[in-house]
Chains A and B, each alone.
Chain A
Amino acid sequence: MTAAITGQDTGLRSRVEDFLYAEAALLDEWRLDDWLGLLTDDARYEVPSTDRPGGHPDTTLMLVSDTRSMITARVKRLNSRKAYREFPWSRTRRIVGNVRVLAVTESGELEVTANFAVYRTRNGQTHCYAGRSLHRLVPDGEGFLIAFRRAELDQETLDEHGTLSIIL
Chain B
Amino acid sequence: MAYRDGVVIDDRSRGIFRVHRSAMTSEQIFADERARIFNRCWLYVGHASEVARPGDYLRRWVGGQPVIFLRDSAGTVRIHYNTCTHRGATLCREESGNTRVFQCFYHAWTFDTTGKLVVTPGADAYAAGFDKADYALRGPARVAEYRGLYFINHDPDAVDLLTYLAGATEYLDLILDQGDEGMRIVDGAHRYSAKANWKLMVENSIDGYHAPTVHATYIDFVKDSGGGQNPAALGTGGGLDLGNGHAVIESVAAWAKPTYWEPFFGDEARPEIEAKRARLIGRYGAERGERIAGNFRNLLIFPNLIVNDVAAITVRRVEPVAPDRVSVEAWALAPVEEAAGSAALQRRLDNFLTFLGPGGFASPDDVEALESCQQGYAAQPAVEWSDISRGMARVPLPNDELQIRTFWRTWASQLDDAGFPEQVVDVEAPKVSQPAARS
**Which A positions have Cβ atoms within 8 angstroms of B?**
47-52, 55, 57-65, 69-70, 73-74, 76-77, 80, 82-86, 123, 156-165
Contacts and interface: CB of A to CB of B under 8 A. Distances in A.
A158 B365 contact: no
Contacts of A74: 361
15 contacts: A51-B191, A55-B187, A57-B349, A59-B340, A61-B187, A61-B189, A62-B349, A62-B353, A64-B353, A73-B224, A80-B216, A80-B217, A162-B364, A163-B364, A164-B359
B331 interface: yes
Given A63-B353, A65-B353, A163-B367, 18 more contacts: A48-B188, A49-B188, A51-B189, A51-B191, A55-B188, A59-B187, A61-B188, A61-B349, A63-B358, A63-B359, A64-B357, A65-B350, A76-B217, A76-B221, A80-B217, A84-B368, A157-B193, A162-B371
A51 B327 CA distance: 15
Interface of B: 95, 186-195, 214, 216-218, 220-221, 224-225, 327, 331-332, 340-341, 345-346, 349-350, 352-354, 357-361, 363-365, 367-369, 371
Contacts of B367: 85, 162-163
A89 to B, nearest CB: 13
B61 to A, nearest CB: 11
Given A61-B331, A63-B358, A65-B350, A159 B364 contact: no
Contacts of A52: 187-188
B354 A70 contact: yes
B263 to A, nearest CB: 14
A77 B349 contact: no
B346 A57 contact: yes
A164 B216 CA distance: 18
A76 to B, nearest CB: 8
Contact of A61 (B217, B353, B368): B353
B225 A50 contact: no
Contacts of B217: 76-77, 80, 82-83
Given A51-B189, A59-B341, A83-B365, A158 B353 contact: no
A157 B194 contact: no
A61 B332 contact: yes
B94 to A, nearest CB: 12
Given A58-B340, A73-B361, A77-B221, A63 B371 contact: no
A60 B188 contact: yes
A85 to B, nearest CB: 4
Nearest to B187: A60
A123 to B, nearest CB: 8
Contacts of A62: 188, 349, 353, 359
A86 B364 CA distance: 9
A123 B194 CA distance: 13
B186 A61 contact: yes
B435 to A, nearest CB: 42
B364 A47 contact: no
A58 B359 CA distance: 17
Contacts of B220: 76-77, 80
A69 B222 CA distance: 12
Contact of A158 (B221, B350, B358, B368): B358
A159 B61 CA distance: 13
Contacts of B188: 48-49, 51-52, 55, 60-62
Nearest to B372: A84
B339 to A, nearest CB: 9
Contacts of A86: 364
Contacts of B368: 84-85
A74 B350 CA distance: 14
B49 to A, nearest CB: 14
A157 B186 contact: no
Interface centre among B224, B327, B359, B364 (most CB of A within 10 A): B359
A73 B353 CA distance: 14
B344 to A, nearest CB: 12
A81 to B, nearest CB: 10
Contacts of B192: 157-159, 161-163
A158 B331 CA distance: 15
B358 A82 contact: no
A151 to B, nearest CB: 10
Contacts of A156: 191
Nearest to B217: A77
Nearest to B354: A70
A159 B369 CA distance: 17
A164 B358 contact: yes
A61 B190 contact: yes
Contacts of A50: 191
B349 A162 contact: no
Contacts of A60: 186-188
A85 B353 contact: no
B76 to A, nearest CB: 25
Sorted nearest first, the 8 A-B pairs with minimum C-beta distance are A63-B359, A61-B188, A85-B364, A157-B191, A165-B364, A164-B359, A163-B364, A163-B358
A140 to B, nearest CB: 27
Contacts of B361: 73-74, 77
A27 B224 CA distance: 24
A157 to B, nearest CB: 4
Contact of A51 (B95, B218, B357, B369): B95
Contacts of A64: 353, 357, 359-360
